[in-house]
Structure 1
Amino acid sequence: MQKNVGGIDRKLRIVAGLVLIALVFVGPQTPWGWIGLVPLGTALIGWCPAYLPFGIKTCSIDSSKDA
């Protein structure tokens, strides 16, 4: 599993994930906010399975050195 999520993408995913999770506790208090675990999880591990079919990599590091 090679990293394909870069720095800015990671930060945006963390913010989006935390905002969505916050919807569970404040605001409309909807259980749909738990979907925020997906972007948060992909940001923390640095790998997004949705990027694979499209060949997208926002990571600037040469991923062949990670393996």
Structure 2
Amino acid sequence: MNANVGTLDRIVRIIIGLALISQVFVGLHTLWGWIGILPLATGLMGWCGLYTVLGIRTCPLRKES
């Protein structure tokens, strides 16, 4: 599992994930907020399965020496 999510992308995913999850406890009080686990998890791991399938990579390639 190579990282395919860049730094800015990770930050945005974590913020969106936390905002969605917070809607379960504060605000709308709906279970739909738990969908925020997906962007939060992909942001914390730095890997997105959908990006792999679509061939997208926002993380810069590492140069191996």
- Scaled by the length of structure 1, the TM-score of the pair is 0.88
1:54 Cα offset (Å): 1.4
**Which structure 1 segments of 5+ residues have no match?**
none
**Which structure 2 segments of 5+ residues have no match?**
none
SS, match of residue 3 in structure 2: coil
Q: 2:53 is aligned with what amino acid? A: P
Q: Distance in 1 between matches of 2:38 and 2:53?
A: 18
Q: Distance in 1 between matches of 2:6 and 2:36?
A: 19
Measured on the aligned residues, the alpha-carbon RMSD in Å equals 1.3
1:61 Cα offset (Å): 3.6
- Scaled by the length of structure 2, the TM-score of the pair is 0.91
Number of residues of Structure 1 aligned to a counterpart in Structure 2? 64
1:35-62 Cα shifts (integer Å, max 9, x gaps): 1010000011100000012110100142
Q: Distance in 2 between matches of 1:50 and 1:56?
A: 8
Q: Which residue of the partner structure matches residue 22 of structure 2?
A: 22
Q: Distance in 2 between matches of 1:28 and 1:38?
A: 19
Identity of aligned residues (%): 53
